[in-house]
Amino acid sequence: MALRGTANAIDTRAIVVAGVTSSWTAWQGTWTNNSVPLTPGINRILIQALGTNGAEIARTNFDVWYDDGSVAGIGGALTSNITLTALDGPYAVTNTLTVANGVTLTIQPGTTLYLGSGINLVIADGGQLLAEGTASAPSALPSRPAPG
């Protein structure tokens, strides 16, 4: 995916997007990166401005929704432990998803689980939901974005 943006033209010497050095036009204060890797679902992209000696002078995160049509459906009652991964997702809850007593639903970092309008995620007494994302790979439980 291609991303572009602006940065402080006085202090910035380079822009790094998702770990890759971008094309930097200092006199305009603009950058372009045509090779941002995305996985289906919500991707958190780290953008860093580097100053002299490669020292970071600013950073931000930019969330990008990428839909390649490969959404996996999940719903109903879970009767055994299940782990949802970013590689096999994103996932859309198709009907009420219930995590039963003694069952654990694990959502790994970088995994997106879409909750539709009027659809519930129920954690029964004794059931567990583990969703521990990281700053660069959050676990997301949003409603599915509209096309466009």
Give the model confidence (pLDDT) of 75-114 as tens digits: 999 999 999 998 888 888 888 999 999 999 999 988 888 8
Please tell me the predicted confidence (pLDDT) of residue 25: 94
Give the model confidence (pLDDT) of 33-84 as tens digits: 998 888 888 888 999 999 999 999 999 998 888 888 888 889 999 999 999 9
Average pLDDT on 107-131 reads 88
5 — pLDDT class (breaks 50, 70, 90): very high
Distances from the Cα of 143 to the Cαs of 41, 88, 114, 127, 133, in angstroms? 11, 18, 5, 23, 18
Please tell me the predicted confidence (pLDDT) of residue 146: 63
Residue 144 has pLDDT above 90, yes or no: no
Please tell me the predicted confidence (pLDDT) of residue 119: 83
Please tell me the predicted confidence (pLDDT) of residue 147: 60
Domain ranges of the chain: 3-66, 72-131
Average pLDDT on 124-143 reads 83
